[in-house]
Structure 1
Amino acid sequence: MKNDTYIRVGTTYYKIVEKPLLSGEMAKVRVVWSIETIRQDHGKDFISQIPKYDDFCIVPSHTRYQERVGNCFNLYEPIEYSPKPGDCQTVLSVVRHVFGEQYEMGLDYIQLLYLHPVEKLPIILLLSKERNTGKSTFLNLLKDIFGKNMTFNTNEDFRSQFNSDWANKLLIGIEEVLFDKQQDSERLKNLSTAFQFKSEAKGKDRVETVFFGKFLLCSNNELNPIMIQPGETRYWVRKLPILGKANTEIRHKLREEIPAFLHFLSNRKLSTEKKSRMWFEHSLLHTDALQRIIDYNRNALEVEIKELLLEIMDTQQVESVSFCLSDLRSLLMFHGIEADISRLRKIIKNHWEILPSPNTLTYITYSMTGNQSGGSSFSETKKTGRFYTVSKEFLYAYFLMS
């Protein structure tokens, strides 16, 4: 019996147990063990040989891993593979398939995971309504690289108040994600940039712990897997094309190439520099797949207001439009669109974050008038009030238009 089968942390003894999972893999768990049972099984002299630690800690590292940090037991797990020169073309082909024209950025993402695990990184969302697109292959590759430091969750696991099983993981993968509630999206966004986290297990008090987890989401819903609002900078969305002929042996081949891939990452120069709290500059993360989700989640009235204001600017050849909310409501009603003042205020002030003029002032706005041919046109109207001003530049930026 090896002495390190047991540890003592603080005043509590634990037995390190390899627990079989339904997947066929083994999970290393620490089970509280009584000192009397240890004495009965191994004799009283064995107790003094058990490694002793003052407390638990979490210090992620893949290149300089230490189980004992100071006098604390490190809950982060060492990875199974070490860098070794060799061929890793199969692994690189999977990365290229997933990230396409953003291939070098995809390599940066994995390289940062490996060499700088505490770095904040964007939430990756892989989409495809077709089968055999490589979503699971990519997630399984990362699972094989980072081992017990990656876990797979369901939507329900993420929503549960009991989160101790994934609170200290480097990667949290969620397949077939469906976060159609605002609170799901807000929680995910907040966690992606959090440094502290409340971890809770059944029957135990919540404890504050460090959080360095990165989320990897997959979905076959390309339009509404999660609520993403305009201007959001924390998502990296990729739509995956269909793979060629299915390869049932690819996972075995990928595992063989992991040491060479780690060697490749260890000697590769990053193609990007840190430009944001999620490392990558937001403009680099913007994809057509992300834009489709944003457009789908937009308030329909918000889109109508945008189109109306841009029509006025183009027709009148101006760069901005001023209006009071009653003016805007009248313009929309002319187009057969009903909207009360409170809804308009919510969009202009809360969503667009545009404030009215500080005082009642004179401004020029526009109203709709009919013509003899049955069409309509805009006419200038001078009014007074506390008005809002929206520019073409703002609308292009807010709606991420080219």
Structure 2
Amino acid sequence: MEAKGKDKREVEFFGKFILCSNNEDNFIKIDGNETRFWVLKVPKITTEETDYLNHLNREVPAFLHFLKHRQLHSKNLTRMWFHPSQLKTPALKKLLANNRNRVEKELATILLMGMDHFNIDDIQLCPIDALQLLNRTRIKTDLTQLRRLLKNSWKLENQKNTLCYQRLVWWQDGSIEQREAKGRYFNISRSFLIENFDELMNAED
């Protein structure tokens, strides 16, 4: 708190901010593991209301009755009260998908394309494989960024030991195939990609 002509001083504060925007895709930067935001898409108003104040006055008693007699559907499981799964609205998923960087989006697209082509639900991937796949799209990245993406952003764990796996290869003529390789690969599931990137894919379609 800083008054004119006086030294500023710290005061205790607890509050909630409501951010409103017509931009659904990227009005705020949110990390994929953030649990402090509840993003809701507000329906459009279909008819204009000119007697709004009188409506509010009539509804106040009913609203107070509702607050007094309602049954809570959520238990106080965290400091934010709601469990993170309850905050995962379609609007939040869309926002998170559009917050992801281009490397993530392109890699997810390529992996889903490979899964569709081979009719599989999981793909094994080493960072060097991801680098070679992304080189076909001419996106500039490196092994350090890709390893950080898979471990920190996507929260995946690679194999502890070197094992055989089916490596996804994308050739210059546009064809793709799987070849046997060895490495400490990450296992990426279709369900993970759909959960985190499906809103983005639908938006691009």
Match of 1:380 in 2: 179
Query: Could you tell me whether the CA contact under 8 Å between 2:93 and 2:196 is conserved in 1?
Result: no
Q: Within 2, Cα distance between the matches of 1:311 and 1:163? A: 56
For structure 1, list consecutive stretches of 5 or more residues without a partner in the other structure: 1-161, 165-201
For structure 2, list consecutive stretches of 5 or more residues without a partner in the other structure: none
Q: Within 1, Cα distance between the matches of 2:39 and 2:160? A: 39
Over residues 24-74 of structure 1, what are the superposed CA-to-partner deviations in whole Å (9 max), with x where a residue is unaligned?
xxxxxxxxxxxxxxxxxxxxxxxxxxxxxxxxxxxxxxxxxxxxxxxxxxx
Q: Within 2, Cα distance between the matches of 1:393 and 1:163? A: 50
TM-score in terms of structure 1 length: 0.42
Following superposition of structure 1 onto structure 2, how do residues 351-366 of structure 1 map, counting pairs within 5 Å? 351-366=153-168
Matched, 1:389 2:187: yes
**Structure of greater relative contact order (alpha carbons < 8 Å, 6+ residues apart):** 2
Following superposition of structure 1 onto structure 2, how do residues 94-113 of structure 1 map, counting pairs within 5 Å? none
TM-score in terms of structure 2 length: 0.75
Change (3 A) 1:275 1:311: farther
Change (3 A) 1:221 1:360: same
Q: Within 2, Cα distance between the matches of 1:254 and 1:322? A: 57
Matched, 1:318 2:117: no
Shift of 1:281: 4.8
Change (3 A) 1:392 1:253: closer
Query: Could you tell me whether the CA contact under 8 Å between 2:97 and 2:196 is conserved in 1?
Result: no
Over the matched positions of the two proteins, sequence identity in percent amounts to 37
Change (3 A) 1:222 1:323: closer
Over residues 245-283 of structure 1, what are the superposed CA-to-partner deviations in whole Å (9 max), with x where a residue is unaligned?
241x4235414542342123212334x232743444545
Match of 1:203 in 2: 7
Q: Within 2, Cα distance between the matches of 1:292 and 1:394? A: 15
Change (3 A) 1:258 1:291: same
Q: Letter of the 1:378 partner, please give it.
A: E
Query: Could you tell me whether the CA contact under 8 Å between 2:2 and 2:8 is conserved in 1?
Result: no
**Higher strand proportion:** 1
Shift of 1:329: 0.9
Structure with larger Rg: 1
Match of 1:399 in 2: 197
Shift of 1:241: 0.4
Change (3 A) 1:352 1:239: same
Q: Letter of the 2:7 partner, please give it.
A: G
Q: What is the RMSD of the two structures over their aligned residues, measured on CA atoms?
A: 3.1
Change (3 A) 1:254 1:388: same
Query: Could you tell me whether the CA contact under 8 Å between 1:231 and 1:398 is conserved in 2?
Result: no
Change (3 A) 1:353 1:291: closer
